[in-house]
Structure 1
Amino acid sequence: GADAQGRRGFRLGCTVQGPAGPVRLDLAVQAEPTLRVVGERLSDGGETLLSTALRDPGRSAVQAAWYTAGAVPVTRAPFPDDRLGTALLPLRVAGTTDGELRVLAAAEQVVVALRSAFVCDPQPRRMRATVPVGEGRLTSSCDNLAEVLYRTRSQCAQRHARLVASAHTGCAGEVTGLTAELLGDGTVQARTERGPGYSTPLGRLGDGELRYLAFALVLQAGPHVLVVDPAAEVPSAMQSLTLLADGLDRSLDTRQTGELLALAASICAAGHMRLLATVTEATAAAARGAGGVTVVDLAP
């Protein structure tokens, strides 16, 4: 509920494993009446490396303090309340003491992990129309799925064949191919081939089929076709991507959800991709004990 000043918010956090060890980031976010980060804590080994707090609600800044372990054990300064303080540390910390180097290493580890994430929420109503030709990188809503298929269908025959096989499994009726054609007005339309001489525009697929196909494409195509900012600090062979899906099983039937989870487990086993998703209780129950899948109960 709201406090006396009508403010509402929420708390969230994560732990990132890496060269700096397990680093924990906790946030307190005010959602109403304005969106702002009102508290932040970066820590490793139980020691606080950065903390911020909103001292004056009338100012668009929080008071930040970070660990230095030098002549002055802690440095304090105002940070903007519309930015993640952890991401600002490299601009403020010189790295002249062991403490500052520790802070920078922890901050870099967390920021690289957060940047290496793709929020995927396919919106079927936005996926049905033809789309103009662009750079061919898939958006979070997957509204340009046809354009991405147009770009990728000839780049890797094996990957495309696997996507067609997934489409055949998750869509009603036979699917023998996925094509995308450039129309006279400069837009692209995707189609599912249904056998010799027969095809169906992607726009005629059901909501569940479109969401299933979008997730299958994201899992199999990888980060090079997604609107993400690659972590240049990490060698390409060591980079990983976290796929975030709130309501993964929305509009999907049991078979489609099971196939997606099995596909994700297979892809993620290579170590370059992770899937973090929320699902219904029924899907969670069915997924318990499945290989490569960990179920965490978020019920209070």
Structure 2
Amino acid sequence: MTPLLAAILALALPAHAATSDFTASYKGGSSSCGTTYQIKGKEPADQNKHPVFIYMVGTSDTYDNAQAMTAVQGMADRGYVAATIEYPNAAMGFCNTLTARSKCIFDQSSAQSAVAALCSREHADCGKGMVVGGFSQGALLSILAKNFDNRVEAVYATGAHKNYIIYNVNACVGNGKRVLPSSRLRVVNGENDLYGGGTQAGVRSSSEALTGYQCNGTSCLQGNGSGWRMVLKSEVQDGSADHCYIRANSCLSNQNNLDPGWATGTAEWTLNGNLDWLTQFTAR
């Protein structure tokens, strides 16, 4: 990358606004919502009311890892009360488990849910809309979010598939199987993600199952940016667009070492490109 191009891209990113840190808790679980889990967030340091952004990491990841906090900071900079949510993620689950975990987080009718904790914040206005992002299992919980809170307007899902080895989850997260319309879902998967079969054809099929949009090639984004996008090996620094393309050096690397292109770039597959996409669906 030339110095001139780097300078142009830097100007395209949102200014690092003044933000404040906060913590909270909620009652979550895999069946009943009876266990206390943590919430960590950032919000604009002003007196205005803001829409809400929620992020969830994948199986066995630390809920406030670099991936989560980079997304949270990015949305706080864009004018959101933004938070990453801890949940019982030691193992993957079938649809009944995923549905229970998502409900504990997003249950609009429960005073103990994570959305209740966030929407009650002084500078949060969930009436302006909520947008959600997640990785792997966290992406699936995100896709299910609108089942439990109709204020969820759009979802950015990475590493999201219809099948995870023994866990076939298409019955609850597939196109037409959940409340969230596919016109408000963007799925971004690596071209050699093993959960998509490790091939472009397999990843394409999995992305099509979740979104309902069918295209040849590696991109099937619609007019409003929903749909799916495949990340190519040539686009990531380590040359491995696997399940963890977000990280430097694939899924075997430290979860806090991020691919620099994903973390700081502006293309459709990057964090900034997708956070920008989410912002069109909420009032500001």
TM normalised by structure 1 equals 0.29
Query: Which structure is richer in relative contact order (CA contacts within 8 A, separation 6 or more)?
Result: 2
TM normalised by structure 2 equals 0.31
Greater Rg, structure 1 or structure 2?
1
